[in-house]
Structure 1
Amino acid sequence: MKRLETLFFRINDILLVLLLAAMTAMVFVNVVLRYGFGSGLDISEEMSRFCFVWLIFLGAMTATRLNMHMGFDLVVMSVGPGLRRVLLTIANALVLGVCVLIIVGTLMQWHVNATNSAPVTGLPMIWVFGVALPMSMVTGLYSGLRMVGYATGRLSELPTAKQANAE
């Protein structure tokens, strides 16, 4: 199972690199065309925006795995270990709840986004907004596992990126 997880996130990291490269190339070419030749490619503006959306959501999955999301942990770090576990359990339960809301909202909007087309490329908009589904599932899975770990006492501290990479 660990190998499958590693493979999934390795593919995710490759996609992140490809999306960033594609976005950079499209914006660079469009800038050169606009300033050098007085015209640009409309498709590059739309596709770079789509790449950016995917980059954010796929990057959120990796950040969740490595526990590298930005957070305010002043209160959590200033209390004792017992209360810390309770607070971390509550925080992960809230994240899990938000992930459920994102899944439900994405599924409710699925038909609308599948029938709407992007103005330039004509792609169904579900190709843009559909990435919220795997992101919320992965983030929800990790938050649920952490919530159970804190509640049962198997996890007592915030996992660091170094610990996540070692696992």
Structure 2
Amino acid sequence: MSYIVDAYFWILKVLIAFLMAAMVVLVFGNVVLRYGFNSGITLSEEVSRWMFVWLTFLGAIVAMRENGHLGVDSLVRRLPLLGKKICFTSSYVLMLYGTSLLLIGSWQQSLINWDVVAPASGLSVACFYAVGLVFGVSTIPILLVGLYRVLLGRADESELVTIRESEEEDVDKIQKRHLADPEGFHGMPAAPAIGGRT
């Protein structure tokens, strides 16, 4: 089962990379055509806008699984175990509620706009709202599993803080791994530490 889940999130990452590359080609290509050849790609603005929305939601799904969303954790880290569990449970219940509303609303909008055609691309506008369905169906299981693990006491205390105030923690972890095993870290030699010490 974990193999299927890993494969699904790998596909999402590939889609994100594809959408980013396609957006660059459409937007940059349109700029070059407009200023250089007095021409343009008709569907560039519309499709790139849709791609950006899909890119954002797909990235949010991946970040949800990897606990990559930024937030304020200074209070939660100082709470005792029970306080962390209460904060975790309440935040996950609220996220489940919000995601459920998004899922229901996206489903209704997709049905309403199924026969509505976008002016430039000719695609169904339901394609735009379908990203909410993908987001809801993908993130609700993540939230339910996290809630299930905490309520049954299977989660470690470190798992109860699912947000970070900054990305500096990741940089610190990478530097510590690099200094602990300089040859094993992609075969690169250890960099000197701040202040000239090695």
What is the TM-score normalised by the length of structure 1? 0.90
Structure 1 residue 71 corresponds to structure 2 residue 71:
yes
Write the distance in 2 (CA, Å) between the matches of 1:114 and 1:71: 36
The equivalent of 1:113 in structure 2 is 113
Write the distance in 1 (CA, Å) between the matches of 2:109 and 2:22: 28
Matched residues, number: 162
What is the TM-score normalised by the length of structure 2? 0.77
Give the alignment's Cα RMSD to 1 decimal.
Answer: 1.8
The equivalent of 1:165 in structure 2 is none
C-alpha deviation, 1:160, in angstroms: 8.2
Asked if the contact 1:66/1:160 (under 8 Å) is kept, the reply is no
Write the distance in 2 (CA, Å) between the matches of 1:75 and 1:140: 26
The C-alpha deviation readout for 1:87-145, integer Å capped at 9, x for no partner, is 11110111111111111111222221212111101100111110111211211111111
Q: Which amino acid aligns with 2:136?
A: S
The equivalent of 1:25 in structure 2 is 25
Write the distance in 2 (CA, Å) between the matches of 1:121 and 1:66: 34
The equivalent of 1:56 in structure 2 is 56
User: Unaligned regions of 5+ residues in structure 1, if any?
Assistant: 163-167
Write the distance in 2 (CA, Å) between the matches of 1:44 and 1:35: 15
User: Unaligned regions of 5+ residues in structure 2, if any?
Assistant: 165-169, 171-198
Q: Which amino acid aligns with 1:117?
A: V
Structure 1 residue 135 corresponds to structure 2 residue 135:
yes
What SS does the aligned partner of 2:123 have? coil
Name the structure with the higher helix share.
Answer: 1
The equivalent of 1:99 in structure 2 is 99
Over the matched positions of the two proteins, sequence identity in percent amounts to: 35
| Higher RCO (CA 8 Å, separation ≥ 6 residues) | 1
